[in-house]
Amino acid sequence: MNAHDFDKYLRKNPARPISIGASPEALFAERIVAVVPVLDEKEELPGVLSSLEASAAAAGAGAVLLVFNHTPETDALKIQHNRELLDLLAAGKLTAGGLPLGWMDAGALRYGVGEARKIGCDSLLAHWPRETLSERIFAMLDADSPVEVDYFGAILDCFRNGGGQMGAVTLGFRHRQAATTKLEEAIRRYEDYLREFCRRLKEANSPYAFVALGSAIACSAELYCRAGGMKRKNAGEDFYFLESCRKIAPVTALDRELVHPSARISDRVPFGTGPALKGMLEGSLRYVVPPEEAWTLLGQILRESRNPELLRGQDGEAYLKKLPEEGRAYLIAEGFRSMWPKILRQRANDAASLPAEFDRWFDGLRTIRLLNRFQLR
């Protein structure tokens, strides 16, 4: 990343002060830092810090930055619990052993957890030399999600083995045992749904075949900046962030179960695991992968888009004619006819790049919208 673009990013996304339990040099020198939003996690946070300490000791690397936050709607008791944890940290009564530990009080945030992740990452960036960004790693985690002892080591190995092509990675996860039998059944069904959905995306050769779970993502600091940083959203920020990353670099899946989120009902965000469990138990939500005809159509759309000659023929009309009527109508409704000629003019002398350009246009969100059409029937 060049100096101009990095400085521009920092100006647009200014850092906030970080309190540090150890020396600043120890925190800012670490190659990999777990960025952890915190809201009312008095019971869970000590265990998560303990698991991170064990992982860092095993890997010989790792640090953690806690980002305390709430929304304007958060009740007073939860805010008080955050203050109590901040007081414990300041007094040195809550630590992570020898793990370099920093924390921030981000206060009231309109977009909650997504904005908290962004503030944490952006504030670390201000302390890292630009020329080291490709070697630095953000590990996105949640304060209710303890990790396996090889968490830091497995992420570092993945980036090391991936070389220069490595940009972002999704981590394997398994939610912890739920408090009730019905909740346990619901969380396992939800996990099965997420994994089956991802498997079918892979079979269709979608470049957006990943499970976007906010507590199970890692990415290089350089890609983080190039992708525009974490998205300011109270839910879905993980999906939109990974989508932006994938338009620039590969997103690799590390399938080992390294993260163990809690299996609990929650209304902190409008959608995600907590609301999904609530809806499943109430009977208002069902998670079933789209029918076979949906995947068949997605596969046809992607398969024909691998042919540069079709994509550039007649301003893309040659490609559209190869598709079934439903696929053709969907792409037209999504703006293909207005956008694709512009892309062709930009890539007039580079036909080989057109499939990749199509993937950037027919992105993860457009893929999901296509599949959802079959769910509504």
Question: How open is the CA angle 369-373-377, to the nearest 5 degrees?
Answer: 160
**Residue 11: what pLDDT?**
95
Q: How far is CA 26 from the centre of its chain?
A: 26
> Per residue in 150-203, pLDDT tens?
999 999 999 998 755 668 999 999 999 988 888 898 889 889 999 999 999 999
Burial 5-29 (b: 16+ CB within 10 A, else e): ebeebeeebeeeebebbeeeebbbe
Lowest mean pLDDT among 62-66, 235-239, 327-331: 235-239
247 and 320, same domain (yes or no):
no
Looking at residue 253, which CATH number applies to its domain? Answer: 3.90.550.10
pLDDT score for 269: 47
pLDDT at 278: 65
Lowest mean pLDDT among 70-74, 239-243, 280-284, 327-331: 280-284
Q: Which amino acid is at 293?
A: E
How confident is the model at residue 57, as a pLDDT?
A: 96
Q: Residue 79: inside a domain, yes or no?
A: yes
> According to the model, what pLDDT value does residue 5 have?
93
Mean pLDDT value of segment 325-345? 96
Please state, in angstroms and rounded to a whole number, the distance separating the CA atoms of residues 370 and 377.
Answer: 12
Residue 110, in any domain of the structure: yes
Report pLDDT digits (tens) over 131-148.
999 999 999 999 999 999
Do 237 and 296 fall into the same domain? no
Residues 94 and 242 in one domain: yes
**Range of the structural domain that residue 312 is part of:** 292-375
Q: Which of 115, 86, 111 is nearest to 18 (CA)?
A: 86
Bigger pLDDT: 143 vs 267: 143
Confidence tier at 266 by pLDDT (50, 70, 90)? low
Query: Residues 59-65: what's their mean pLDDT?
Result: 96
Q: Is residue 191 part of a domain?
A: no
- What does the alpha-carbon distance between residue 202 and residue 304 come to, in Å, rounded to a whole number? 16
Mean pLDDT calculated for residue range 289-298: 95
pLDDT at 265 over 80: no
Shared-domain flag, residues 227 and 351: no
Both tokens of 133, joined, read 């960004």
Residue 270 has pLDDT above 50, yes or no: no
| DSSP structure class, residue 103 | E
Residue 282 has pLDDT above 70, yes or no: no
Q: Tell me: the pLDDT tens digits for 71-102?
A: 999 999 999 999 999 999 999 999 888 899 99
Reply yes or no on whether the pLDDT at 287 is more than 80.
no
Dump pLDDT digits (tens) for 116-132.
Answer: 999 999 999 999 999 99
256 plus 216 within the same structural domain: yes
Return the closest-CA partner of residue 128 out of 10, 249, 5.
10
18, 163: one domain: yes
Q: What is the average pLDDT across 322-326?
A: 96
Query: How many domains does one find in the chain?
Result: 2
pLDDT score recorded for residue 183: 87
Asked if 353 and 222 sit in the same domain, the reply is: no
Could you give the count of Cα atoms lying within 13 Å of 139 in the half-sphere of its Cβ?
Answer: 30
Q: How many CA atoms lie within 13 A of 240 on its CB side?
A: 13
pLDDT value, residue 264: 66
Assess whether 40 and 142 both reside in one domain. yes
Q: Mention every residue, 6+ apart, whose C-beta is less than 8 A from residue 79.
A: 70
238 and 337 belong to one structural domain: no
In 3-state terms, what secondary structure has residue 13? coil
List, for residues 216-257, the tens digit of each pLDDT value.
999 999 999 999 999 887 778 899 999 999 999 999 999 899
What mean pLDDT comes out for the span 61-80?
95
76 and 117 together in one domain: yes
> Which residue did the predictor score with more confidence, 359 or 113?
359
